[in-house]
Amino acid sequence: MADRTSSSITVKAGKAEIMAVIADLEAYPKWASGIRGITVEEVGEDGRASHAKFTFDGGVFIDTIGLAYTWEGDDHVTWTLVDPGSVVTKLHGSYTLDERDGSTEVTYELSVDVRIPLIGMMKRKAEKRIIDSALKGLKRHVES
């Protein structure tokens, strides 16, 4: 992933607890701002979503997309766009969890392309806003 945005946050919990929250996709609207609804369409052998439809509010637009997930235990999850929306044309993201001394560093990487032409700086700024909002929501939800 050459063009991507990344950020990290430390959460006072173990990685299994954090990954359980991340894997509970249908609960995202409770803690992840901008997510209007999620439908898990397929589940893998591990019981976690392998394909899901997301409807989100991007501020100036609302879109529904389909994502495919790959889970690596409680250490890492990646998702890739498989069903583009009316605005989002490409998307790749991941969470990586690194547990240390009772806390876990959560790193979120994201790359998004949209039908609307945007210069790179504007695209990275939008990705950064999405990532920071998601990480803060995750931390608040897990630590509450």
Percent pLDDT > 70 in the chain is 91
The confidence score (pLDDT) of residue 51 equals: 98
Higher pLDDT, 97 or 144: 97
Please give the C-alpha separations between residue 1 and each of 4, 90, 109, 144, in angstroms, as whole numbers. Answer: 6, 12, 9, 33
Where is average pLDDT lowest: 2-6, 32-36, 40-44?
Answer: 2-6
Question: Taking Cα atoms as reference points, which of 96, 90, 85 lies closest to residue 131?
Answer: 96
Kindly report the pTM of this predicted structure: 0.89
The answer to whether the CB of 93 falls within 8 A of the CB of 119 is no
Is the pLDDT assigned to residue 76 strictly greater than 60? yes
126: three-class secondary structure by DSSP: helix
80 or 119, greater pLDDT: 80
All structural domains of the chain, each given as residue ranges with its CATH number in brackets, are 5-143 (3.30.530.20)
Mean pLDDT of 33-50: 95
